[in-house]
Amino acid sequence: MNTKAPLLEVEGLHVAYGKAEVVHGVDLQVQAGEFVVLLGRNGAGKSTILHAVSGLIPKRAGRVRFGGRDVSQSSPRDIVRAGLVQVLEGHRVFGTLTVEDNLAIGTYASARRSDAAQLERMYDLFPELAARRYLPASKLSGGQQQILAVAQGVIASPKLLILDEPSSGLAPLVVDRILAVAAELCAGGMAVLLVEQLVEKALRHAHRCCLIETGRIVAEGSAQELRGSDVLERVYLGSHTAA
């Protein structure tokens, strides 16, 4: 039993778009160095939870603590500076900028300045970026752009990296690679909160999983516990997500 205060602690989170509430009281914790996966069907509210945690959309109610500090009312910029970085769904990189300039943007988010050592660390982790550092990002394949988006998040050495469906639209090998790098960084002490539709791939790396259904956490446990549970089958019944 881990008795340390969690790195991320979400309590009683409610989020609405206009009058329509889509997240109905979510409690979620991530410990330092932990790999947590959020699973759930399309529209379950996974991205909404992540956006609210990162301060990108308002919360109707609830509290978010990060690194022992209440960040419920903090700006996205302050949350990033506290060490919580989210890689958004889709390959959001700046196509006209070079790979290296895109990476440099990632360092602006951190309190630290961009320096050569940070860039070299990314090129060691992601050799496919090293080979293309002076190319405009638009010349990269979809998979390479997603790797760049992840590197852009990782370069600031966050305490918690949030990845929202990094696999979407990518070849299985690229997905494996992104998840393996996330797991490796996690072993080095960074916590990961991952939303993923490829259930089996995500469970392979997870220390803990939370199952979301229509804005609520309906089950939580280790990968092994969830694999054997009826609730996982129920949530994904009829969907083509196992891989």
**Residues engaged in binding ligand ATP (CB under 6 A):** 17, 22, 40, 42-48
User: What are the angstrom distances between the C-alpha of 54 and each of 126, 145, 158, 216?
Assistant: 25, 22, 13, 18
Asked whether 166 and 111 are in contact (CB, 8 A), the reply is no
Please report whether residue 197 would count as binding Mg ion according to CB under 5 A: no
Q: Which is nearer to ligand ATP, 41 or 132 (CB)?
A: 41
Min dist. Cβ of residue 54 to ligand ATP (A): 13
Q: Which is nearer to ligand ATP, 36 or 122 (CB)?
A: 36
What the block records as the tokens of 191 is 């916590």
Asked whether 49 and 26 are in contact (CB, 8 A), the reply is yes
**Gap between the Cα atoms of 157 and 118, Å rounded:** 9
Q: Which is nearer to Mg ion, 43 or 189 (CB)?
A: 43
At residue 13, φ and ψ (nearest 5 deg) are -75, 125
Q: Which is nearer to Mg ion, 9 or 164 (CB)?
A: 164
Number of residues that bind Mg ion (CB under 5 A): 1
What the block records as the tokens of 98 is 């070079």
Min dist. Cβ of residue 212 to Mg ion (A): 10
Please report whether residue 74 would count as binding Mg ion according to CB under 5 A: no
Q: Which is nearer to ligand ATP, 53 or 160 (CB)?
A: 53
Q: Among 46, 45, 38, 109, which residue's Cα sits nearest to residue 79? A: 109
Q: Which is nearer to Mg ion, 20 or 117 (CB)?
A: 20
What the block records as the tokens of 151 is 């590197």
**Gap between the Cα atoms of 199 and 195, Å rounded:** 9
Min dist. Cβ of residue 22 to ligand ATP (A): 4
Min dist. Cβ of residue 82 to Mg ion (A): 23
Please report whether residue 54 would count as binding Mg ion according to CB under 5 A: no
**Gap between the Cα atoms of 94 and 71, Å rounded:** 28
Query: Which of Mg ion, ligand ATP, none sits in contact with 40, Cβ below 5 to 8 A by type?
Result: ligand ATP
Adjacent-strand bridge partners of 39: 211
Please report whether residue 48 would count as binding Mg ion according to CB under 5 A: no
Min dist. Cβ of residue 235 to Mg ion (A): 15
Query: Which of Mg ion, ligand ATP, none sits in contact with 22, Cβ below 5 to 8 A by type?
Result: ligand ATP
Query: Which of ligand ATP, Mg ion, none sits in contact with 42, Cβ below 5 to 8 A by type?
Result: ligand ATP
Crossing angle between the packed helical segments 172-187 and 142-154, to the nearest 10 degrees: 10
Min dist. Cβ of residue 206 to Mg ion (A): 18
Residue corresponding to tokens 């196509």: 95
Contacting residues toward Mg ion, per CB under 5 A: 47
